[in-house]
Amino acid sequence: MKQGRIVLNQQARRVTALADGKLLLDNGNPLADSPQWLAPASGTVYGVALNHRSLLEQLEADFQQPPYQKAPATPVLFIKPRNTHAGHGSAIALPTQAGKVFAGGALGVVLGKVASKVAVEQALEVVAGYTVVNEISLEETSFYRPAVKAKCRDGFCPMGPWQVDAAAIDPLNVEIRSYLNGELAETHHSRDWLRSVPQLIAALSQFMTLQPGDVIIPATPLRQLEIRPGDTVAVEIAGIGRLENRLIAEESAQ
């Protein structure tokens, strides 16, 4: 089943997609207009950095030098706070004076159960479903300090439109395609992730209790897809959906 969240008369409401593509509101009524989408989940969003081999291989030599000294031993985590969460179709404001901005096509793993100290073997039992995420970030020249300024800008974590049931997706075999202005610009695959979704759920839940509605972004690829005001960026995962957003200049958003 595909479920999303929309705003209707200033209220968050659930919608379901029927097989023919029509939308059904949570009260059973059909929805005719194209809605204003929200992110399908509303919990804490945890991202995993440096989990894509392309990125790790490129930085391998740097990681032996100061300030890092050695390669990371545990998942490198960050939080995308609530001001970053946005829906399908939202216009995202990019700063024009802060350097390059990159798209980050990614899977979103949505939790359905409270998860504490979950074993790898049981990890997928706590997943409710999957969504599509664009983990937008400024260019990162260092991974030493938390990347709050790069990753926590308003609207820098659009998600959706759909959350599909866990059974519909194999998280060990996911291809993520990113499109810039309608053209395929980047493809990456879960087989290139250092740690898998079950391994990440086990690692995170070792020290933090995860809640239903929390989202894990298992990996974002090497930052190559630069985005600029005026562009349209889309991220697509077969079986989940296509997340599309317009980019505008921050000045025009105010």
Partner 1 sequence: MKHARIRLPGEADIHAVLVNDDHSVQLADGRRVAEEAVEWLPPAEGTVFALGLNYADHAAELAFKAPTEPLVFLKSPATLTGHRQVSVRPDNIIYMHYECELVVIIGKTAKNVSREQAMDYVAGYSVCNDYAVRDYLENYYRPNLRVKNRDTLTPIGPWWVDRDDVANPASLTLRTWVNGELRQQGNTRDMVFDIPYLIAYLSSFMTLSPGDMIATGTPEGLADVLPGDELIVEVEGVGRLVNHIVSEAQYADRQAQTV
Contact flag: residue 219 with partner 1 (CB under 8 A): no
Give whichever of 150 and 169 is closer to partner 1, judged by the CB atom. 150
46 binds partner 1 (CB under 8 A): yes
Residue 68 binds partner 1 (CB under 8 A): yes
Give yes or no for a contact between 215 and 45, defined as CB atoms under 8 angstroms apart.
Answer: yes
Q: How many CB atoms lie within 10 A of CB 25?
A: 15
Residue 152 vs 235, nearer CB to partner 1: 152
Q: Which residue has the tokens 């392309």?
A: 54
Structure tokens at 230: 């005026």
Q: Taken in order 174, 163, 78, 7, is the CA torsion positive or negative?
A: positive
CA-wise closest residue to 78 among 189, 156, 161, 174? 156
Least Cα distance to 188 among 228, 159, 217, 150 occurs for 217
**Minimum Å distance from CB 144 to partner 1?**
6
Backbone angles phi, psi at 65, to 5 degrees: -100, 165
Selected binder of partner 1 within 24, 31, 56, 143 (CB under 8 A): 143
Amino acid at 239: G
Touching partner 1, residues 73-112 (CB under 8 A): 73-74, 76-79, 81-84, 95, 98
Examine residue 116 and tell whether it contacts partner 1 (CB under 8 A). yes
> Would you say 67 or 182 has its CB closer to partner 1?
67
Q: Interface with partner 1 by CB under 8 A: which range of 7-15, 151-159, 180-188, 224-232?
A: 151-159
| Residue of 201, 225, 180, 222 lying closest to 109 (CA atoms) | 201
Binding to partner 1 by residue 212, rule CB under 8 A?
Answer: no
Q: What's the closest the beta carbon of residue 216 comes to partner 1, in angstroms? A: 12
Lookup: tokens for 239:
């079986």
Rule CB under 8 A: choose which of 147, 194, 248, 249 binds partner 1: 147
Residue with tokens 């933090």: 208
Given candidates 104, 153, 240, 247, which one binds partner 1 under the rule CB under 8 A? 153
Write out the residues near partner 1 by the rule CB under 8 A.
44, 46, 49-50, 67-70, 72-74, 76-79, 81-84, 95, 98, 116, 143-149, 152-154, 207-211, 254
